[in-house]
Amino acid sequence: MDEQQLTDGLRLLADEARPHPLDVDRVVERARARGRGRVATIAAGVVTTALVGSLVLALNGFESAGGPPAGQLGVAVPGRDARSARLDTEFAATRSALAEAGLVTDDSFAAAAPFHRWYDSVTGTSYVMRTILRDGTGMATLEISVGKVATDKPFTAFTGPSAGTLEPCTSDQPGCVRRTLPDGTIAAAWPNSRPVEGWGPSSVLCAQRPNGTYIVVVANVGAEYLDPPRPVPPLDAAQLLEFATAFTY
């Protein structure tokens, strides 16, 4: 790895580990000052390890007593790519729709993150974003996972890094709304529910598109750092179903 690759890699990791900014140029300059070859490589390795640690701490900040456990089934893969940027663009339209419904997205809290790569043993590489939703009644966390499964996969058990394994709700569960949308997307929306034992109230969507894209949305009011939490989680069934066709892997 040459110095330019090292610098670019550190900048990428620093971006993913926000809000813990790192002066990459200073780090690289210090590495140069310590000498060439093995010494500089070891120093860079220590810095990289610290950055990954910062990212893990930031993601774990999303965990709380009443919310989904962050990082339960996978590990963050630091870095963003063209798909991350496209998913951010697709979410921008969703932000506008949420704002029209009186829900403002707030990316200022510690574990907020734009779409970034995630890996787990169940779904492989997926993309995850986190933010806060606010309105006049309080706050809620919002997490969206977008991944890819085989097009013939049954509509069961989806995995999100903070959500653990979620089964789509079924029509015999009170409040569950299941739809097959005009483009063939299968979706299950369950507003103001408790889909997993131990969670605070949540509004949840599981969706699988004809091309294998899967989407998991969790709006949760159980996180203890919400000040104040909404009395009920945001997003009714119709609003959740809007997410079912908002993203393409």
Quick: pLDDT tens for 143-166: 999 999 999 999 998 866 565 678
Under a CB-based contact definition with an 8 Å cutoff, are residues 101 and 59 in contact? Answer: no
Q: Helix H segments across the chain?
A: 3-16, 24-33, 38-60, 82-100, 237-242
Name the amino acid, one letter, at 183.
D
Find which of 69-73, 165-169, 239-243 is predicted with most confidence, using mean pLDDT: 239-243
Beta bridge partners of 104: 134
| pTM (predicted TM-score) | 0.70
Q: What number is the average pLDDT over the span 16-42?
A: 42
What CA–CA distance (Å, rounded) separates 11 from 35?
21
What pLDDT, on a 0 to 100 scale, did the predictor assign at position 198? 76
> What is the tens place of the pLDDT at every residue in 193-229?
988 877 889 999 999 999 999 999 999 998 888 999 9
Could you give the 3-state DSSP secondary structure of residue 158? strand
DSSP H or E segment with residue 31: helix 24-33
Closest CA to 230 of 239, 238, 220, 216: 220
- Give me 37's structure tokens: 């070859």
Candidate ranges 46-50, 91-95, 182-186; pick with highest mean pLDDT: 182-186
